Amino acid sequence: MNKPSVVSFLITLLLAAAVCIQGGEPVKETVGNYLKTDQQYYIQPVNTNFPGGGLVPAPPTLFSLCPLGIVQTALDYIPGVPVSFSTPNAIMETTISTDDYVNIEFKSKIWFCDKFSKFWKVDESSSAAEEPSILVGGTKQEQNSWFKIENAGEGAEANTYKLTSFAGPVGTKLGTFKVPQLVVTNDKAKTLLVKFKKVDEVTTTTSTSRIEKLGLGMFPFY
Label each residue of the chain as H, E or C. CCHHHHHHHHHHHHHHHHHHHCCCCECECCCCCECECCCCEEEEECCCCCCCCCEEEECCECCECCCCEEEECCCCCCCCCCEEEECCCCCCCCECECCCCEEEEECCCCCCCCCCCCEEEECCCCCCCCCCEEEECCCCCCHHHCEEEEECCCCCCCCCEEEEECCEEEEEEECCCCCEEEEECCCHHHECEEEEEECCHHHHHHHHHHHHHHCCCCCCCC
CB 183 within 8 A of CB 169: no
Q: What pLDDT, on the 0 to 100 scale, is given for residue 198? A: 96
Q: What pLDDT, on the 0 to 100 scale, is given for residue 19? A: 38
- Give the global pTM: 0.81
Q: What pLDDT, on the 0 to 100 scale, is given for residue 2? A: 46
Q: What is d(CA 219, CA 62) in angstroms, rounded to the nearest whole number?
A: 13
pLDDT mean by block of 10 residues, the chain; 222 residues: 48 43 83 95 93 90 84 93 91 88 92 90 82 94 96 87 96 88 95 95 53 46 44
Q: Which amino acid is at 100?
A: D
Which of 48, 58, 50, 138 shows the shortest CA–CA distance to 102?
A: 138
CB-neighbour burial class of residue 121 (10 A; exposed 0-12, middle 13-18, buried 19+)? buried
Q: What pLDDT, on the 0 to 100 scale, is given for residue 206? A: 53
Q: What pLDDT, on the 0 to 100 scale, is given for residue 59? A: 87
CB 85 within 8 A of CB 102: yes
